[in-house]
Homo-oligomer: A and B are copies of this chain.
Amino acid sequence: MLNEKTVSHSVECGDCPIRHRAVCARCESDELERLEEIKYYRSFEAGQTVIWSGDRMDFVGSVVSGIATLTQTMEDGRTQMVGLLLPSDFVGRPGRDGSAYDVVATTDLVMCCFRKKPFEAMMERTPHIAHRLLEMTLDELDAAREWMLVLGRKTAREKIASLLTIIARRDASLNLRTPKGAMVFDLPLTREAMADYLGLTLETVSRQISALKRDGVISLQGKRHVTVPDFARLLEEAGDDSDGGLLA
C-alpha cells in the first residue's frame, strides 16, 4: 500500500489526545498498560484507502487524528457515505472478518490499531472496554438514524445546513467549546464527498452552499474555511428543533 507508515515510536496512552473519548476511555491504568502492549500506530495520507469493502480485516482501531469515511458503492457506481469517522471514533467490528464498507482517509490520518484476535481476547477480560464499545456503538446508531431523517425527508438546503451543524458541533466538542453564536471551522470534505454523504450531486451541493452564502447564513474564506455568524440561524435552516439534543 502506497505511503502507509507503521509508526514505531511509542506514544504514551496517558498523553493520547483521544484518551477520554475513545474505546479505551473507561480503562484503569493497569488495563491501559495491557492495551499499550498490543497497540500500534498506522498513518495514511489523504486519499488513501484504509480497507476495501469485502477485504479481510485483521485489526480494529481508533482514529487518533484526521478524518476517514465509510462508504458503500453499488455496481453501477452510485455511492453513499454511511459514516464519517472523526478522532476517537472506532473502526472495525469485533466478531467479523471482513469489512462491510470502504474506509478511506480524506485527510492525513493516524490510527491506533489492535490486531483483532488479541483485542477480542482483551474485551472478554475487560468489561470497561466492552461497555465503552457498546456505548459508542449505540451513539453511532443514533447518529445513523438521525442521518436517515436527513436523507429521507430533508431538502437539499436543509441537508447542507445539517451537515454543517454536525461538523461545527463535532469540531467544537473536540476543542471543548459549546456550539453557539459565531463559529469558524474547516470543511474536511470535498463537494463530491459532501454529495455522497447527503445523497445529492456535487452540483447541487455547490449551488446550495452558494445560496447559504448569498443569504448570509455562512461565509467562506477560500473554498473550505467556513464562518457561521449565528449558529442558531444555521440550526433553523437545518430544520432541527431548536434544542436539537437528545435527553441524557
Contacts and interface: CB of A to CB of B under 8 A. Distances in A.
Interface in A92-128: 93, 95-98, 100-101, 124, 127
Interface residues of A, number: 46
Interface in A55-112: 70, 72, 74-76, 78-80, 82-83, 93, 95-98, 100-101
Interface stretch (A9-17, A32-40, A135-143, A214-222): A135-143
A144 interface: yes
A147 interface: yes
Given A96-B247, A130-B127, A82 B137 contact: no
Contact of A133 (B80, B134, B152): B134
B96 A148 contact: no
A246 interface: yes
A162 to B, nearest CB: 11
Given A72-B149, A75-B241, A144-B148, 7 more contacts: A54-B247, A80-B153, A83-B145, A100-B145, A100-B247, A127-B130, A151-B199
